[in-house]
């Protein structure tokens, strides 16, 4: 029974890592769509987020079944509980990538942003993609050092977000009010995506060490 239980735990871990992989692919594709004003790429994001949601329910059900039927304790219990929470975090990451794609679809055939604003958002998208890749490694390895690295890497994304807001708030910025709204929302989507990868890392640290999540 315990061998079967751990096989099921491993399967849950693999499914969560796949959700993270798909979220990373979605945010990368959404960023490509943003900088290229490419509608087919934006539509591809919706396909990816649908795949994430198709995994959401089964993962959640599997974790709850393990709790109810196996009565895990200690680290096994933490792993199952962590899995329940991670499903929601990873689903939200996919949702944020979808919001970027929705902006592209709404403004097509025009670019949502341009110039330095688009350049900063492009860099934010690449940083978010890298964070998702690192989060996937963390989920697969349960390495607390890699998990800690997520927080440090997210600082780069936060710096870019602050730079974007400073740019938009500058009186000499040439963009319109709708463009400012679009850029502000996009920056927030990327910033929140990065925050969720950091939460993934914190949850894995809790899994491994039992230390409660820091605020």
For residue 214, being part of any structural domain is answered with no
Residue 117: predicted pLDDT = 97
Check: CB of residue 193 under 8 Å from CB of residue 92.
Answer: no
pLDDT of residue 70: 65
Task: Give dist(CA 215, CA 201) in Å, integer.
Answer: 13
For the chain, the helix, strand and coil percentages under 3-state DSSP, each to the nearest 5: 85, 0, 15
Please tell me whether residue 42 adopts helix, strand or coil conformation: helix
pLDDT value, residue 155: 96
Per the structure, the count of domains in the chain is 1
Report residue 140 as tokens.
């697969």
Q: What is the DSSP string of 170-214?
A: STT----HHHHHHHHHHHHHHHHHHHHHHHHHHHHHHHHH-PPPP
Structural domain contains residue 157 = yes
pTM (2 d.p.): 0.93
> What residue spans of the chain are helical by DSSP H?
2-36, 39-70, 74-107, 115-141, 144-169, 177-209
Residue 62 belongs to a domain: yes
Give the residue numbers spanning the domain of 30: 2-209
Q: Computed from CA positions of residues 95, 97, 99, 102, in that sequence, does the dihedral angle turn out positive or negative?
A: negative
Residues 6+ apart with CB under 8 A from 173: 167, 180
CB 202 within 8 A of CB 214: yes
Task: Take residue 102 and report the two structure tokens written for it.
Answer: 């929705």
| Residue 76 confidence (pLDDT) | 80
Q: Which of 24, 29, 177 is nearest to 93 (CA)?
A: 24
Residue 74 lies in a domain: yes
User: What CATH number should be reported for the domain holding residue 17?
Assistant: 1.20.58.220
Q: Which of 80, 83, 99, 114 is nearest to 27 (CA)?
A: 99
Per the CB < 8 A criterion, the answer to whether 78 and 7 are in contact is no
pLDDT at 215: 54
Question: Looking at the domain assignment, is residue 215 inside a domain?
Answer: no
Which residue's entry shows tokens 């996937």? 136
Burial of 188 (0-12, 13-18, 19+ CB in 10 A): middle
Mark the ranges of the chain whose per-residue pLDDT is less than 70.
1-2, 70-72, 212-215
- The pLDDT of residue 209 is 85
| pLDDT at res. 75 | 79
């Amino acid at each position: 029974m315990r061998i079967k239980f751990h096989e099921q735990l491993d399967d849950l871990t693999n499914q969560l890592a796949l959700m993270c992989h798909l979220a990373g692919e979605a945010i990368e594709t959404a960023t490509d769509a943003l900088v290229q004003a490419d509608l087919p790429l934006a539509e591809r994001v919706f396909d990816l987020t649908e795949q994430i949601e198709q995994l959401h329910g089964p993962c959640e059900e599997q974790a709850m079944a393990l709790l109810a039927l196996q009565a895990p304790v200690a680290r096994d219990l933490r792993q199952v509980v962590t899995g329940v929470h991670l499903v929601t975090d990873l689903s939200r990451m996919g949702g944020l990538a979808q919001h970027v794609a929705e902006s592209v679809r709404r403004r097509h055939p025009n670019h949502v942003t341009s110039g330095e604003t688009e350049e900063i958002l492009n860099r934010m998208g690449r940083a978010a993609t890298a964070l998702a890749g690192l989060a996937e490694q963390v989920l697969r390895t349960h390495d607390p050092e890699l998990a800690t690295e997520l927080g440090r890497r997210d600082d780069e994304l936060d710096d870019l977000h602050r730079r974007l807001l400073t740019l938009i708030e500058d009186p000499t910025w040439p963009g319109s009010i709708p463009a400012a709204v679009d850029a502000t929302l996009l920056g927030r989507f990327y910033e929140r995506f990065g925050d969720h990868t950091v939460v993934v890392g914190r949850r894995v640290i809790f899994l491994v060490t039992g230390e409660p999540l820091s605020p």
